Amino acid sequence: MDRFDLRIEVPPVAFTDLDLPASGDASDVVATRVAKARQVQTKRFGAETGLRQNADAEGAILEEIATPDTEGRELLVKVAERFGLSARGYHRVLRVARTIADLDHSADVRRLHVAEALSFRLATATAA
């Protein structure tokens, strides 16, 4: 499981929920936001050989692009210690947090982005 960036549990939709009005963003809105985030990543890695998106970043480049703010780093370290995140898992959280920040149009990775990335990583770990 340490090789997966995201782990989420998708419960079945209750029959009574099928008649509720749609919630959240429409697909075209999400697609536009994702396309813009990918453009940011393409620009970020334009000069780097073999790098096109955050998932490709490793080592010093990952540290450069995905270092969270102080509060984000404190949260990540605390959760890493409590849940025994491996180095691979730690770096995967950073990549996902950087992508969430891109989707949020944020130049910096903040605590909020780290928390969301951790929620995707730990969702099934805490449920198991």
In a domain, 19, yes or no: no
Tokens of 75: 């949260």
Contact indicator for 58, 90 with CB cutoff of 8 Å:
no
Q: Strands of 1-128 (E only): list them.
A: none
Rounded CA-CA distance 41/83 in Å is 30
In a domain, 76, yes or no: yes
- In this predicted structure, the answer to whether residue 93 has a pLDDT above a threshold of 70 is yes
In the block, tokens 């998932």 appear at 55
- Overall number of domains in the chain: 1
In a domain, 66, yes or no: yes
In a domain, 8, yes or no: no
What residues make up the domain containing 53? 26-127
Q: For the whole model, what pTM was predicted?
A: 0.83
In a domain, 9, yes or no: no
In a domain, 49, yes or no: yes
pLDDT tens digits for 6-59?
677 778 888 888 888 888 888 999 999 999 999 999 999 987 778 999 999 999
Q: Nearest 5 degrees, angle CA 44-CA 120-CA 52? A: 20
How high is the pLDDT of residue 1? 54
In a domain, 6, yes or no: no
In a domain, 38, yes or no: yes
The residue-averaged pLDDT of 93-117 equals 96
